[in-house]
Structure 1
Amino acid sequence: MAVQIENLGQLDRKVTLEFARADLAKAKEARLAKLGKTMKVPGFRPGKVPKNMVEKQYGMQVDFELQFDKASELFYELARNEKIMLAGQPRLDPKSELDADTVVFDAYFEVLPEVKIGDFSKAEVTKYTTDISDAEIDRALDVLRKQQVHYHPRGEAGEHGDGGASPVAQAGDQVVIDFVGKIDDIEFAGGRAENFEYVLGEGRMLPEFEAATLGLKAGESKSFPLSFPADYHGKDVAGKTADFTITVKSVNWAHLPVVDDAFALSLGVTEGGVAKMREEVKVNLDRETKRRITSLLKGEVMDKLNSICELDVPKSLVTQEQERMVESARQDLIQRGIPNAKDAPIPAEMFAEQAIKRVRLGLILSDLVKQQNLAATADQIKAEIDEQAATYEDPKEVVRWFYSNPSRLKDIENMVLEDNVIKYFTSQAKVIDKTITFEELSKLN
């Protein structure tokens, strides 16, 4: 049967499908017979219900289902024969009466767009380089030391000293206070606390609050005004000025562990002491640096691909991507224990822009991979898994873990594929090499 595909726009198409209702007779008879075997009617044993009663009960439903099935079958046969690159499932719209001799459906569908790959040689990307110095290792160790910080009352002698002669609160000290806040002489919700603990200089409290606490010692009190910012999270006090009174209960100075063999042992370094610990810290920093540099380059390459390649975006694929993102957001809420997360309204529109970008990139990458033969090979996938497994205590077990799950293996395949695209892109584009410090690297988005 000759069919004509109608162009409704950039990617939208329509085709009319026709077939004889009589073509469904045998299929209808078989389906009604199957339904009759389980149909329950008073006075009849199962499987013995007369055909006319089965027809009366299920005939219209079966006609409806079979006609849609047949229309779907004809559509996909047409798509195969005409080599139509479908962007999604068709929408089948019945145009004839259910009992018409000739059944007519209009099928509305989208086709995949033509991707116009831009000129990569005109693109410019930055590739960062970072050397891990002893200073970077020292900073990392300081972070690890702060994770093991403990506090002693200021001025009281102990095994780690007294923290200095001055008993007053200083930056970096942990203070325990009682406080009361009032607005127009009326205490407000959340404005009172006892034995409230925080560390000066960490930014947990508003600047005026910290400034008032500095210089006080245990047992001293102080009253002061505090202006809440207009965008303060507490809407009842945002933009208002409160009068606070604080009483310091205790002032404690921070003792950080010394970087020695005992500290190394506390981090799980059983042999080699400080030297081995520094070596392991450098390995971790090198690994983090590589991951960060790769991530930045990937982000820049993907943005360039998105901007220099041209294509129309199928609405159906965007809708599907929005639905996936809504479901992902809902699962995240459920995992975080948010009440009523299963029924919480999550508008798909909030993901529209991100969904369009993802679909665009997916189509661009798919086209580029086919054109340049950039698909991930088995050897590349194995090499990536081996590299990731090497960071664990039992690499062989991690390798088995990856290969035992098709989904995890697919994630690795996609990762390698993206790496192949990045390598190809940077081989064509202008790459600017830039050396920066680890600290500068960590601040880049």
Structure 2
Amino acid sequence: EKRFGVEALYQDAVDIVLPDAYVKAVEDTGIEPIDQPSIDIEQIERGNTLIFTAEVTVKPEVKLGDYKGLEVEEQDSTVSDEDVEKELEQLRERHAELVVKEEGSVQEGDTVVMDFEGFLDGEAFDGGKGENHSLEIGSGQFIPGFEEQLVGKEAGVETEINVTFPEDYHAEELAGKEATFKVTIHEIKSKELPELDDEFAKDVDDEVETLDALKAKLREELETEKKQNAENAKREELINKVTENAEVEIPDVMVKTELDRMMREFEQRLQMQGMTLDLYYQFSGQDEDALKEQMREDAGKRVKTNLTLEAIIKAESLEVSDEDITAELENMATMYGTDAEQLTQMLGGNTDAIKEDLLFRKAIDYLVDNSKVVA
């Protein structure tokens, strides 16, 4: 006490005692805190009880509206002959060969190999030059008006193209500006689509021998996909309805937490595409605050949806068994090419997130089972 002072010793005592005392207070009151508490020490004296107050934001109560017997539209999941033919044409497009045109001009759907350089008021600008660049006409890869002006042009001839950069173009120094591009087309390539025959069928799918077999398989796959899409649409419609019917005041801290989660998810998606968040900001002309503001409405909807589903889980006493969790772990293990035991170890034995996900699914299943499908 003489060495460190009474205040330091009291602070150590608070650090040791307070966490357990706070947890017990939460358990005794039955509240559900959703952020860190603001602690105020009311009394700390030698020989006396430690008295403190903790102010914390708690999970809000949800007033459920109608969630049983809701009507949902029946979704058409039939597959037509035209659907199958469209899928076949897409397969042909994916297996098309690019053949160099020996004569003729650029047409829609052709691919050109070109050199280009862009100029503003006669001066070349950074990032506006490319050599031996391949561009499919009609793909929309270049700024509006560029690709259209290449139609009708021939290889080996330099041409000038005049365009205006969009007002919302990612490079601010170019946004809304008029530019001229000098373009030299080296090659024009057209798509050569394969014939629709048995050989084509075998080339695109090792499991079939004939074109008719390929069509039958495509129809079956499309039917499965359409049925799944119809089921997903029904579930989404029910979720939206019960959320709209519910009443709840959402604390700002919950929206902020969800925004942070959405930002992490967005950054992970960018990384999968080989892009960083900073690079996205550069291209989009946004910053973190602008992006979060753009996401804020969706974050609020997510929070309200989750709170509503939690209220339904509580109202209907929905539960997840150990067997449910084990079955889900086995499904996930199969998906990731491992076994359930290894997956459990990877999760550190913590299956709370899996349990929460299963509970939400059970709540949505409950909505579906208690809904009315109307034509």
TM-score, length of structure 2 as denominator length: 0.77
Within 2, Cα distance between the matches of 1:75 and 1:413?
26
Change (3 A) 1:325 1:138: same
Which of residues 15, 27, 41 is equivalent to 1:80?
A: 27
Q: Quote how far apart the aligned CAs of 1:225 are.
A: 3.1
Q: Tell me which residue corresponds to 1:29.
A: none
Q: Which SS does the other structure have where 1:129 is aligned? A: coil
Q: Which SS does the other structure have where 1:405 is aligned? A: helix
Change (3 A) 1:276 1:416: farther
Q: Which SS does the other structure have where 2:154 is aligned? A: coil
Within 2, Cα distance between the matches of 1:409 and 1:426?
26
Letter of the 2:83 partner, please give it. E
Within 2, Cα distance between the matches of 1:88 and 1:58?
33
Within 1, Cα distance between the matches of 2:239 and 2:371?
13
Which of residues 148, 153, 159 is equivalent to 2:100?
A: 153
Letter of the 2:105 partner, please give it. V
Equivalent positions of 1:210-289 (< 5 A) are 210-289=147-226
1:205 matched to 2:136? The reply is no
Q: Quote how far apart the aligned CAs of 1:251 are.
A: 1.6
Q: Quote how far apart the aligned CAs of 1:236 are.
A: 2.9
Q: Quote how far apart the aligned CAs of 1:309 are.
A: 0.9
Change (3 A) 1:170 1:88: closer
Q: Tell me which residue corresponds to 1:338.
A: 276
Letter of the 1:369 partner, please give it. I
Change (3 A) 1:97 1:140: same
Change (3 A) 1:270 1:197: same
Offset from partner CA, 1:251-307 (integer Å, 9 cap, x none): 221112233344333334244333333333334323332333333333322222221
Q: Tell me which residue corresponds to 1:130.
A: 77
Q: Tell me which residue corresponds to 2:284.
A: none
Letter of the 2:66 partner, please give it. D
1:371 matched to 2:315? The reply is yes
Change (3 A) 1:378 1:127: farther
Q: Tell me which residue corresponds to 1:424.
A: 366
Q: Which SS does the other structure have where 2:145 is aligned? A: helix
Q: Quote how far apart the aligned CAs of 1:317 are.
A: 4.1
Q: Tell me which residue corresponds to 1:357.
A: 301
Within 2, Cα distance between the matches of 1:234 and 1:315?
34
Letter of the 2:232 partner, please give it. S
Q: Which SS does the other structure have where 1:258 is aligned? A: coil
Equivalent positions of 1:1-150 (< 5 A) are 56=3, 61=8, 63-96=10-43, 101-120=48-67, 124-150=71-97
Change (3 A) 1:94 1:311: same
Change (3 A) 1:129 1:349: same
Q: Quote how far apart the aligned CAs of 1:215 are.
A: 1.8
Contact 2:118 2:182 in 1 (8 A): yes
Contact 1:87 1:314 in 2 (8 A): no
Change (3 A) 1:242 1:80: closer
Within 2, Cα distance between the matches of 1:428 and 1:170?
55
Q: Quote how far apart the aligned CAs of 1:310 are.
A: 1.5
Structure 2 unmatched ranges of 5 or more: 280-286
Q: Tell me which residue corresponds to 2:116.
A: 179
Which of residues 333, 337, 343 is equivalent to 1:405?
A: 343
Change (3 A) 1:378 1:134: farther
Within 1, Cα distance between the matches of 2:195 and 2:18?
76
Change (3 A) 1:172 1:88: closer
Letter of the 2:121 partner, please give it. D
Change (3 A) 1:403 1:132: farther
Within 2, Cα distance between the matches of 1:106 and 1:280?
67
Q: Quote how far apart the aligned CAs of 1:402 are.
A: 5.4
Letter of the 2:213 partner, please give it. K
Q: Tell me which residue corresponds to 1:311.
A: 248
Q: Which SS does the other structure have where 2:114 is aligned? A: strand
Change (3 A) 1:175 1:111: closer
Change (3 A) 1:191 1:132: same
Contact 1:403 1:409 in 2 (8 A): no
Structure with higher Rg: it is 1
Within 2, Cα distance between the matches of 1:410 and 1:258?
54
Q: Quote how far apart the aligned CAs of 1:308 are.
A: 0.8
Aligned sequence identity (%): 25
Q: Quote how far apart the aligned CAs of 1:413 are.
A: 5.5
Offset from partner CA, 1:208-230 (integer Å, 9 cap, x none): 33333222222234334333333
Q: Which SS does the other structure have where 1:311 is aligned? A: coil
Within 2, Cα distance between the matches of 1:397 and 1:183?
53
Change (3 A) 1:411 1:254: farther
Structure 1 unmatched ranges of 5 or more: 1-51, 156-165, 390-394, 434-445
Within 2, Cα distance between the matches of 1:286 and 1:409?
35
Q: Quote how far apart the aligned CAs of 1:367 are.
A: 2.0
Offset from partner CA, 1:322-365 (integer Å, 9 cap, x none): 44444444555666463889xxx955964554443333222221
Within 1, Cα distance between the matches of 2:24 and 2:161?
80
